[in-house]
Amino acid sequence: MHSGPSSIVLSQTGGPLYQQIMDQIKQKIAVEEWKAGDEIPSIRQLAVDLRVSVITVKRAYLELEREGLIVTQHGKGSFVATGIAVGPHLYEQKLSVHLEEAARLGTTIGMSGRELVSRLRKALDEVDDARPVSPKSLKESQ
């Protein structure tokens, strides 16, 4: 009943609901399921579809607006912002979260900065090994 291109799937164990809505909208924009300039569901409509409160969706939309990913025009609706490259932006944010987490964990177990950096290099090598080999990445890892 609630499927279709705008469907968002919320998890009861997946953290704050507004955050889940934000993350999934960002992903939709990143993969261009929702394209620049597209009208997105109204706050109330999405709330009804997702069975979550209006205020939760409103919060997600406000934060997305603040980040410049969507724009809301009074009386007209909300739209995906134009002229932004969301894909890189989205992964950039994720990366800083993970890097911070790694730094914090490293500090907790008393790991030196140098050690942490070498661990990151090792992790990079592992990812490179798993990646289909292209001439460029071969050069970089050697």
Would you tell me which residues interact with another protein (CB under 8 A)?
12, 15-18, 44-45, 47-48, 51-56, 59, 104, 107-108
CA 11, CA 37: separation in Å to the nearest integer? 28
Would you say 48 or 71 has its CB closer to another protein?
48
Distance in Å, CB of 65 to another protein, minimum: 15
Q: 70 - beta bridge partners?
A: 80
The minimum distance between CB 72 and another protein, in angstroms, equals: 16
Inter-residue contact 104 to 62 (CB < 8 Å): no
Q: How far apart are CA 102 and CA 42, in angstroms?
A: 38
Burial 123-139 (b: 16+ CB within 10 A, else e): eeeeeeeeeeeeeeeee
Residue with Cβ nearer another protein (21 or 86): 21
Q: Least distance from C-beta 17 to another protein, angstroms?
A: 7
Considering the complex, state which of residue 55 and residue 123 has its C-beta at the smaller distance from another protein: 55
Contacts of 33 (CB under 8 A, 6+ apart): 5
Q: Which is nearer to another protein, 47 or 70 (CB)?
A: 47
Give the nearest distance from C-beta 124 to another protein in angstroms.
Answer: 26
